[in-house]
């Protein structure tokens, strides 16, 4: 497969200001702080991190559901961040989103037909008479009966609703879908159904996914490349297999080791992190992870680490690797 | 080790909604031995939380009813107990950790005020002793600067901290049995790992028995000695942990294990159980799982399977019937 960049995110920043009153300085929350990555056509790119790390904000900013503070989002050669409202609106034909909570993301007052008709109407796709047929086809693809057309969202279970949410995103035949925790609200047996559906759709329509999740086992299963986020910054990017085999950043190592075992006889070395994620309103100085990092050194408290490239497409930002080779060896062998 | 601390026998619970009655729990049997961790697994709607609320005596009095069955705790039948007697047990001998730490702590009281409540209820202690006890327990669950935390409100703490406070609340009276209802579901993975580690520690130190309710088989694999698998208000399988993962007898258990992403080849279609859990009012005759079961045959739709026992391994599936045994 020829790697062709479909989406490039360059130095994306999204800051929120919290006013503290007339004479006090506003607090600035750096929800997304200088994030850059590239998503190739046809691949599934994952953003992983704990709650509050800015992964959902990144997804929303790419679609301009919130405006970025700074930076560029280049989709198919156009800078999304600079577009007018109307241009952006028509570009959303190619950029769609699947939301986390299938209970909150479907309008309870509309029937399934209306919900699926809306994107077609807004973007003026197909003749009016063909639209209904298109909707019926789409329902069949996502595994729902066309008898459901006149029902309301509350009549469906969580898994079925998520199918409707996916149908709504795919019906415009977009190139790119941002899926924000699409399966985390679902039960195990239903979760696997929805993951299968997403894999099938990707094959059928050649979709590119930005898959946002905190569930590492799902990520390991269905994505091609992963970016690990911590407090608004990307700390490590790698191919999924490389990341799970050879995680470089101590945070990635801890995250992977925290995943529950899949068989009771499995014996797992645990890196248990101390403490909680610090507030993004008041991030630690230097490397944001130093407060919880088992290998923190003096330099980590003062200077933010630079990004270091290991092999093809594997990068991590950590002082452990910017130091001399010998120390690096010592630390990596120690961590395993 | 062998004597049972909790015995649930043929428990049936009914709910009234309007004129209709539904029965989400239809005959649940299990025993929890002293010092063991028993996992209860199932998807939402399988009745695992209702069962745990029944053990705690927290079912809503007006709309629910225990139709049949016994819950024996240390030889006393909890279903027959009056509210006043129950109060002496609840929070004292049995305590519970809930799923959502934010909604289960009262936002208008400080941590210290909330933690002193069980001690004031069940122990005869002076204010000073209570405070000392609380700080002890908070230190035990790994909360830093406990002396200050007791004067803070729940919203000032993070999710992981709140769950630690909930655990310390459940620990205060040194209960014999702790029920944890999805204690880590609302937490991030790294915090989940911390809390699970903490619960293991505390259980060993205080010699408690733990009833762990979860939908996450990974958590079960990590924590439990034995597992009860529930489906649509019934127990479909009970087994020792390794046996459950190595040779699950019930097709539902097998389906649950097989649909974990880690059990499937990368990028391939995941194994999945088709359909969804039936609602209590949709259940008809036959095996509850028959309509989703890949191995179902005629008998499954006609007659509900009895309990088949093989040593300690219990399952409710016609495939285990010796006459049909060769089908497996």
CB within 8 Å of B313: residues ≥ 6 apart:
B237, B238, B239, B240, B243, B249
Instruction: Quote the CA–CA distance of B35 and A20 in Å, as a whole number.
Output: 52
Residue A189: enclosing H or E segment and its boundaries?
helix A188-205
User: Per this entry, what is the length of chain B?
Assistant: 328
Q: Is the dihedral of CA A222, A226, A230, A234 positive or negative?
A: negative
What is the structure's pLDDT at A326? 47
Below-50 pLDDT ranges, chain B:
1, 324-328
Residue pair A163/A153 in contact (Cβ under 8 Å)? The answer is no
pLDDT tens-digit series, residues A193-206: 999 999 999 999 99
Domains of chain B, with CATH numbers? 4-93+173-327 (3.40.50.300), 105-172 (no CATH)
Phi and psi (nearest 5°) for A334?
-65, -35
What is the structure's pLDDT at B38? 94
Residue A328 pLDDT > 70? no
Q: Is the dihedral of CA A317, A322, A326, A331 positive or negative?
A: negative
Strands B308-310 and B94-97: unpaired
Residues B271, A192: C-beta atoms closer than 8 Å = yes
What is the structure's pLDDT at B187? 81
Residue A32 pLDDT > 50? yes
Domain boundaries defined on chain A: 5-94+172-247
Q: What percent of chain A has pLDDT over 90?
A: 47
Residues B261, A261: C-beta atoms closer than 8 Å = no
The CATH number that domain A5-94+172-247 falls under is 3.40.50.300
**Distance between A68 CA and the closest CA of chain B, angstroms:** 27
Instruction: Quote the CA–CA distance of A82 and A61 in Å, as a whole number.
Output: 12
pLDDT tens-digit series, residues A255-264: 999 888 888 8
Instruction: Quote the CA–CA distance of A323 and A137 in Å, as a whole number.
Output: 57
Instruction: Quote the CA–CA distance of A96 and A170 in Å, as a whole number.
Output: 8
**Distance between B324 CA and the closest CA of chain A, angstroms:** 27
What is the structure's pLDDT at B23? 86
- Of B47, B185, B190, B269, which to mutate for an interface test with A (greatest number of A Cβ within 10 Å)? B190
pLDDT tens-digit series, residues A231-278: 999 999 999 999 999 999 999 999 999 888 888 888 888 888 887 788
**Distance between B108 CA and the closest CA of chain A, angstroms:** 23
Phi and psi (nearest 5°) for B208?
-105, 170
* DSSP helix/strand/coil, B245: helix
Instruction: Quote the CA–CA distance of B26 and A112 in Å, as a whole number.
Output: 35
pLDDT tens-digit series, residues B143-192: 888 888 899 999 888 888 888 899 999 988 889 999 999 888 878 888 88
A210 or B265: whose pLDDT is higher? A210
Q: Minimal Cα distance from A241: which residue of B?
A: B266
Residues B266, A220: C-beta atoms closer than 8 Å = yes
Contacting residues of B for A214, CB less than 8 Å apart: 188-189
A230 or A311: whose pLDDT is higher? A230
- Select from A231, A228, A229, A232 the least CA-distant residue to A242: A228
Residues A192, B261: C-beta atoms closer than 8 Å = yes
- Select from A197, A189, A252 the least CA-distant residue to A220: A252
Residues B221, A188: C-beta atoms closer than 8 Å = no
Residues A262, B217: C-beta atoms closer than 8 Å = yes
Residue pair A52/A281 in contact (Cβ under 8 Å)? The answer is no
Q: Minimal Cα distance from B188: which residue of A?
A: A50
Strand partners, B150: none
Cβ-based burial of B3 (10 A; exposed 0-12, middle 13-18, buried ≥19): exposed
Contacting residues of A for B276, CB less than 8 Å apart: 157, 159-160, 189-190
Instruction: Quote the CA–CA distance of A110 and A89 in Å, as a whole number.
Output: 22
- Average pLDDT, stretch A104-116? 92
Tokens describing residue A142: 């996502």
User: Per this entry, what is the length of chain A?
Assistant: 336
Tokens describing residue B240: 């020792």
**Distance between A199 CA and the closest CA of chain B, angstroms:** 7
- Of A263, A266, A292, A294, which to mutate for an interface test with B (greatest number of B Cβ within 10 Å)? A263
């Amino acid at each position: 497969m020829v790697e062709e960049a479909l989406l490039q995110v360059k130095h994306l920043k999204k800051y929120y200001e919290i006013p503290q009153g007339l004479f006090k300085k506003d607090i600035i929350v750096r929800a997304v702080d200088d994030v850059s990555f590239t998503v190739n056509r046809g691949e599934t790119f994952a953003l992983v991190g704990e709650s509050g790390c800015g992964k959902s904000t990144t997804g929303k900013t790419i679609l301009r559901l919130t405006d970025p503070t700074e930076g560029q989002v280049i989709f198919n050669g156009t800078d999304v961040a600079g577009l007018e409202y109307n241009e952006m609106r028509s570009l959303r034909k190619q950029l769609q989103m699947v939301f986390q909570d299938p209970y909150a993301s479907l309008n309870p007052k509309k029937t399934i037909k209306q919900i699926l008709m809306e994107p077609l109407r807004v973007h003026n796709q197909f003749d009016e008479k063909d639209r209904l047929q298109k909707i019926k086809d789409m329902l069949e693809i996502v595994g729902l009966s066309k008898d459901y057309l006149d029902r309301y969202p509350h009549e469906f279970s969580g898994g079925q609703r998520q199918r409707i949410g996916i149908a709504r995103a795919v019906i415009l035949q977009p190139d790119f879908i941002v899926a924000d925790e699409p399966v985390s609200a679902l039960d195990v047996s239903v979760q696997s159904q929805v993951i299968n559906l997403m894999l099938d759709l990707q094959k059928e329509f050649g979709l590119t996914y930005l898959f946002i999740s905190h569930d590492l086992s799902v990520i390991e299963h269905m994505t091609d490349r992963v970016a690990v986020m911590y407090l608004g910054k990307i700390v490590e990017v790698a191919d999924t297999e490389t990341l799970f085999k050879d995680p470089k950043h101590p945070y990635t190592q801890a995250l992977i080791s925290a995943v529950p075992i899949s068989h009771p006889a499995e014996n797992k070395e645990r890196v248990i992190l101390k403490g909680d994620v610090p507030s993004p309103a008041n991030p630690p100085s230097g490397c944001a992870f130093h407060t919880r990092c088992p290998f923190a050194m003096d330099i980590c408290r003062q200077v933010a680490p630079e990004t270091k490239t290991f092999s093809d497409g594997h990068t991590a930002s950590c002082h452990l690797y910017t130091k001399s080779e010998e120390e690096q060896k010592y630390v990596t062998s120690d961590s395993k | 080790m062998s004597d049972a601390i909790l015995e649930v026998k043929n428990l049936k619970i009914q709910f009234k909604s309007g004129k209709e009655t539904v029965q989400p729990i239809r005959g649940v049997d299990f025993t929890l031995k002293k010092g063991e961790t028993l996992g209860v697994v199932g998807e939402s709607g399988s009745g695992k939380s209702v069962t745990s609320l029944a053990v705690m005596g927290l079912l809503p009095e007006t709309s629910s009813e225990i139709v049949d069955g016994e819950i024996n705790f240390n030889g006393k039948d909890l279903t027959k107990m009056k509210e006043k007697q129950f109060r002496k047990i609840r929070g004292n001998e049995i305590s519970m950790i809930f799923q959502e730490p934010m909604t289960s702590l009262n936002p208008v009281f400080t941590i210290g005020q909330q933690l002193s409540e069980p001690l004031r209820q069940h122990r005869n202690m002076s204010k000073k002793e209570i405070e000392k006890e609380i700080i002890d327990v908070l230190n035990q669950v790994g909360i830093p600067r406990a002396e200050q935390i007791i004067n803070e409100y729940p919203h000032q703490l993070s999710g992981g901290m709140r769950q630690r406070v909930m655990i310390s609340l459940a620990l205060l009276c040194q209960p014999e049995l702790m029920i944890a209802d999805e204690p880590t579901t609302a937490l991030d993975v790294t915090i989940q790992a911390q809390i699970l580690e903490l619960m293991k520690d505390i259980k060993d130190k205080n010699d408690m028995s733990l009833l762990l309710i979860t939908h996450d088989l990974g958590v079960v694999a990590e924590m439990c000695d034995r597992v009860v698998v529930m489906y649509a208000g019934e127990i479909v399988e009970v087994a020792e942990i390794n046996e459950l993962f190595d040779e699950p007898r019930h097709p539902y258990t097998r389906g649950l294990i097989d649909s974990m992403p880690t059990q499937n080849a990368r990028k391939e279609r995941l194994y999945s159980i088709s359909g969804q859990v039936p609602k209590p009012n949709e259940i008809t005759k036959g095996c509850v799982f028959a309509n989703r079961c890949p191995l179902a045959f005629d008998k499954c739709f006609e007659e509900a399977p009895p309990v088949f026992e093989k040593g300690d391994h219990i399952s409710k599936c016609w495939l285990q019937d010796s006459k049909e045994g060769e089908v497996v």
